Amino acid sequence: MKGAPIVTSLPSERSGQPSIPFVGLSEALVLAAVRSSGVPLQRVRPALEVLSRDLGIQHALASHRLYSDGAEVLFDYAETSSDPDAPLVRQLVVVRNQQRVFSDTVEQYLRLIDYAEDGYARLVRLPGYRYADVVADPERSFGQPIFSRGGARVADVLERFWAGDDLDTLVEEFGVPRAELEDVVRVASRPAA
């Protein structure tokens, strides 16, 4: 039996191409953090149901309430649930200074998100770069990845690089520091796993 999707998506206009709204991008980032903590996908769904029920919010993975209250809710669920998989959810939460907080891996990903006044993600810093500060901001460049310094779309800079422009020219024209350009080119040129 297949459950409801974890990441929000919209009906696609073209066959075979996903249509992920910004809230879905934010959810996917947090889901990646949860998965990197070792929690299997089939165990994430019950935890999300608990978060949605106990916090009373939709899109829990994209909400600041996950960041502020979610660790406590998940810890309590893991400690009191008779579900044999509840201890797996416990891997997401640690106790520090007598407070329940997310594990370092999850915390690191949650820090990549800036939240708006409504409590939902408004900007996501994309992981995977060593030096480049690349963000997705639905209010700039239609949410496509951009350099936070200079505001240039990553796709535009890479297109010019692959067309033969050297890095010095791109630094000057786009206002992006050289170390960030090199980092983005390195990541974009890396073979897919």
For each of the domains in the chain, give its residue range(s) and CATH number, in order of start: 22-115 (no CATH), 126-189 (1.10.10)
Look at residue 81 and give its three-state secondary structure: coil
Per-position pLDDT tens, the chain of length 193: 466 788 888 887 777 666 888 899 999 988 888 888 777 777 777 778 877 887 787 888 888 888 777 777 777 777 777 777 677 677 777 777 777 777 777 888 888 899 999 988 999 999 889 999 999 999 998 889 999 988 999 999 999 999 999 999 999 999 999 999 999 999 998 776 5
- Residues 103, 77: Cα–Cα separation, whole Å: 16
Q: Is 128 left (phi over 0), alpha (psi -120 to 50) or beta?
A: left
Task: Give the pLDDT confidence score for residue 16 in this predicted structure.
Answer: 65
Neighbouring C-alpha atoms within 13 Å toward the C-beta of 122: 7
The whole-number pLDDT of residue 2 equals 62
